[in-house]
Amino acid sequence: MPVVPRQISEFGYYHLILRGNGKQIIFEEDADYIHFLNNLKQYSAENKIFINAYCLMENHVHLLVCDPERNLSLFMKRLAGNYAIWFNRKYQRTGHLFERRYTSIPIESESRLCTVFRYILNNPRDGGVAPAEEYRWSSYNKYGKPLSFVDTKVLVELLGSFEEYKAYLNAKYEDEDPVFQYRNHDDEWAKEVMRKTLNIETGSEVRSFDRKTRNEAIRKLREKDVSVRQIERLTGISKSTIQRA
């Protein structure tokens, strides 16, 4: 059977799943999880892959990544291949450790990005292993931490503070992409917030404000949970200016 070409995400984000061959255990003890995470940190940096979330379960791995330079195939080959060699030597085993082909699911919207993010971090809870916040081998507690190799900047812009992030993970939902239903974070909502908060008709009016008034307006919008990206889109003000404000 011919190999089906992988789909490319124009958005740049992917949900990756790496499973043990025949659902076999791929992490026997703490040292195995630690070794895999060290490899994940090393190979993501070397291949310019941004890790947005991870969850290592006993017999499979979930990753949320951004691949701006399309190095995903090489990254996964090194990550899975080197860990398999190390694991087989350690436990004196032979044969394939992982299924022959990892799963790669392209993500094409911000709402889907948030949904996958939540799904990955809730895997221990949904699998009956442990509450998400107590599970040791996920990036749950890396949210919003700039010194971590896990890059959550985009998710912080979309979801907000650590408390809001926890509330989002724990919120009940029924539809596939609940984040904007949960926080009402579409652009129409943001436009309405701008009109009510700043007493303007369009976001472009903010650019005509003097510097002090403009910065105060940006701060008010951020306090109302309008994301940096939305302010950038709706006002035409640069991201760096918004972040400085």
How many H-runs (helices) and E-runs (strands) does the chain carry?
Answer: 11, 4
> What pLDDT is recorded for position 8?
81
Q: Residues 1-29: what's their mean pLDDT?
A: 84
User: Given a cut of 90, is residue 223 above it in pLDDT?
Assistant: no
Across all residues in the chain, what is the average pLDDT? 88
> What pLDDT is recorded for position 119?
93
Instruction: List the one residue out of 151, 156, 147 whose CA is nearest residue 139.
Output: 151
Q: pLDDT band for position 4 (50/70/90)? A: low
pLDDT digits (tens, 9 = 90+) for 124-171: 999 899 999 999 999 999 999 988 899 999 999 999 999 999 999 988
> What pLDDT is recorded for position 161?
92
Q: Which of 30-44, 125-139, 227-241 shows the lowest per-residue confidence on average (mean pLDDT)?
A: 227-241
> What pLDDT is recorded for position 7?
78
Q: Which residue has the higher pLDDT, 175 or 71?
A: 71
> What pLDDT is recorded for position 59?
95
> What pLDDT is recorded for position 1?
38
d(CA 22, CA 95) in angstroms, rounded, equals 12
pLDDT digits (tens, 9 = 90+) for 177-220: 444 444 445 677 788 888 888 888 888 889 889 989 999 999 88
d(CA 203, CA 137) in angstroms, rounded, equals 42
Provide the whole-model pTM.
0.71
> What pLDDT is recorded for position 175?
44
Give the sign of the dihedral formed by CA 172, CA 175, CA 179, CA 180: negative
Cβ-Cβ contacts under 8 Å for 155 (sequence gap 6 or more) = 52, 53, 113, 114, 117, 143, 165
Q: Residues 233-238: what's their mean pLDDT?
A: 88
pLDDT digits (tens, 9 = 90+) for 57-88: 999 999 999 999 999 999 999 999 999 999 99
> What pLDDT is recorded for position 182?
41
Cβ-Cβ contacts under 8 Å for 174 (sequence gap 6 or more) = none
User: Given a cut of 70, is residue 231 above it in pLDDT?
Assistant: yes
> What pLDDT is recorded for position 2?
47
